[in-house]
């Protein structure tokens, strides 16, 4: 099972791992703000079972997820528990919490 080594590698792989059926009825912009080395800002626009992935800040995101790039990579690789990270304050969510919970189901990552 391949593991990712950076946030940019994860974002590059997201389109081919997107699960359109999981996005049925969804029309939202999700902002990801990753701090530290290898971090950056990206946003995902999910509408009509389609995904657009863009660099930078979204004008008006429905949900913003803030965490370190290292923690994001660990979470995607399955070596860190997202709920535990949230409870420890390593993950901060603003806006629609339900979108944050749904984010993982939108992708079938290796």
d(CA 21, CA 24) in angstroms, rounded, equals 5
Sort strands 40-47 and 63-68 into parallel, antiparallel or unpaired: unpaired
- Angle (CA) 34-1-88 rounded to 5° is 35
- pTM, to two decimals: 0.91
Report the greatest alpha carbon distance in the chain. Answer: 36
Instruction: Identify which of 69, 49, 48, 47 has the alpha carbon closest to the alpha carbon of residue 58.
Output: 47
Which residues have CB under 8 Å from 66's CB, separation 6+? Answer: 33, 34, 35, 91, 92, 93, 94
| CATH H-level superfamily of 7-95 | SCP2 sterol-binding domain (3.30.1050.10)
Please tell me which residue, 104 or 2, carries the higher pLDDT value: 104
DSSP reduced 3-state for 55:
strand
Mean pLDDT for the stretch of residues 44-69: 96
Domain boundaries, the chain: 7-95
pLDDT value at 1 more than 50: no
pLDDT at 64 over 60: yes
pLDDT in tens, 70-96: 999 999 998 999 889 999 999 999 999
pLDDT at residue 110 is higher than 80: no
């Amino acid at each position: 099972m391949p593991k990712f080594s950076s946030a940019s590698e994860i974002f590059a792989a997201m389109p081919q791992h997107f699960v359109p059926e999981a996005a049925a009825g969804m029309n939202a912009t999700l902002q990801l703000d990753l701090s530290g080395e290898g971090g950056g800002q990206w946003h995902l626009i999910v509408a009509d079972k389609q995904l657009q992935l863009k660099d930078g800040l979204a004008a008006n995101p429905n949900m913003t997820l803030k965490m370190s790039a290292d923690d994001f990579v660990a979470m995607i690789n399955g070596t860190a528990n997202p709920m535990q990270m949230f409870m420890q304050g390593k993950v901060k969510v603003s806006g629609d919490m339900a979108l944050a919970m749904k984010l993982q189901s939108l992708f079938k990552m290796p």
